[in-house]
Each structure stands twice: as C-alpha cells, then as structure tokens.
Amino acid sequence: MTECLFCRIAAREAPADIVYEDDDLVAFRDIHPKYQVHFLLIPKVHVASVADVKKEHEPLLGKILRVSGELARQYGLSESGFRVLMNTGPDAGQVIAHLHLHVLGGERLRAI
C-alpha cells in the first residue's frame, strides 16, 4: 500500500466522502472544511504538486479546472462565486504531497 493518503483515497483504500469520480479524477469533502462548501479535487495519478507538473499532465490539469467548475455549478456556487485554490509546498500550506485543488464557497469568502 502506498504512503500517499490521496493515492489511497483514489484507490478506495482509505475512507472519504466522495462527491465525484471518473477515470482520471476524484473529488471528496475536506475533513476540516474552511467554508460551507469545501471539497478537494485530485488526479488519480500521483503528482506531488504544481511544481512537479510535466507537459504530459497538461490535459489532466485542464480537466481538473473544467470539472471544478461543473461541480461548483452542481453545488449552486457559480452565481454567487467560489474559489479554486492549489497550495504548493509546505510554506504555502500544502499538507499532503499530492496535487489537489480546493473548491471553496457557499458563503462570503475572506479576501486573500
């Protein structure tokens, strides 16, 4: 079994409240939500962070952004607004070394 928690979630070897899944991506609710709606969208393939993205990952990153917008519409966030966020590295707040996109909304977000 891999040490990466998000790889284990993608393989259904670790529990998560999954809200979306396809052949390439998994989205699940954050276990410590910062806002009313807070879920993570991850690729099933392990990429540690944005700093590790290669040319062959470009279609996958485009898909992550497209699906984040689709899920935001599903959750009723697109009209009032939502935030899409990727942290890269420990100083930026990345806790799990697996590329992941946060989708945040459902209430007024604090400015960053």
β-sheet bridge partners, residue 42: 26
Residue 105 token pair: 């909304």
How confident is the model over 86-112, as a mean pLDDT? Answer: 94
Whether the CB-CB separation of 58 and 37 falls below 8 Å is answered with no
Catalytic residue, from 38, 46, 57, 100: name it. 100
Is 5-105 in CATH node 3.30.428.10?
Answer: yes
Task: Domain ranges for the chain, please list them.
Answer: 5-105
* Torsion angle in degrees (nearest 10) through CA of 23, 78, 31, 27: 0
Residue 1 pLDDT:
46
pTM of the model: 0.92
Mean pLDDT of the chain: 95
Check if 100 is active-site. Answer: yes
**In what helix (H) or strand (E) does residue 61 lie, and over which residues does it extend?**
helix 58-74
